[in-house]
Amino acid sequence: MKRLIVLCLGLLALVDASQSPIQQQAVDLLLDFFHSRNLVRSVFKEQAVTDVIEEVLNMGTFVQLQVELAQTHCRKQQRRTHSCHIKAGGRRQTCLACIKFGSTDPESVLDRSLHCLSDQSPVFQEVKRRHNQECENVKNAHEDRYLPGRFAFSKGQPS
């Protein structure tokens, strides 16, 4: 049994290590969003990150991902101070995120769409479909501002 737990922890560490810094920033924003909701009383930990898309565009970097969360024994107020262990039989949540970060300042968020709910919820598939449509809007956010040659001025010699 201990070997299975060690193997699982090793795989989770490997998955976490394979995330780019901007993907980790997206996961952090998602966790902040999730824990800021009034209905959330416990700390939830990231279990798996799947369906990752990262695309560099003219006006920024677009990240789309799905994150599986598991409930821990800790209260929400202890989120940053304690090492929280996952609660056996605790609630599970699936979060869908698409975030567009600015190209000049990677810390800035140009647009985002975040949804978290139980994947056993009867409306999960509908929310996922609607979320994918919203992601297209997030991906195209501010892209109309960059049109090469749109504002081209030449300064000539005075006559």
Instruction: Report pLDDT digits (tens) over 72-89.
Output: 999 988 877 778 899 999
Question: Are residues 69 and 92 in contact, defined by beta-carbon separation less than 8 angstroms?
Answer: yes
Backbone angles phi, psi at 34, to 5 degrees: -60, -45
Instruction: List pLDDT tens digits, range 96-136.
Output: 999 999 988 878 999 999 999 987 888 999 999 999 999 99
Backbone angles phi, psi at 144, to 5 degrees: -70, -10
Question: Are residues 69 and 94 in contact, defined by beta-carbon separation less than 8 angstroms?
Answer: yes
Give the model's pLDDT for residue 155: 58
Which class in CATH covers the domain with range 19-144?
Answer: alpha beta
Q: Can you tell me the distance from the alpha carbon of 91 to that of 97, in angstroms, rounded to the nearest whole number? A: 19
Q: Can you tell me the distance from the alpha carbon of 55 to that of 139, in angstroms, rounded to the nearest whole number? A: 9
Give the model's pLDDT for residue 114: 96
pTM value is 0.75
- Across the chain, mean pLDDT equals 83
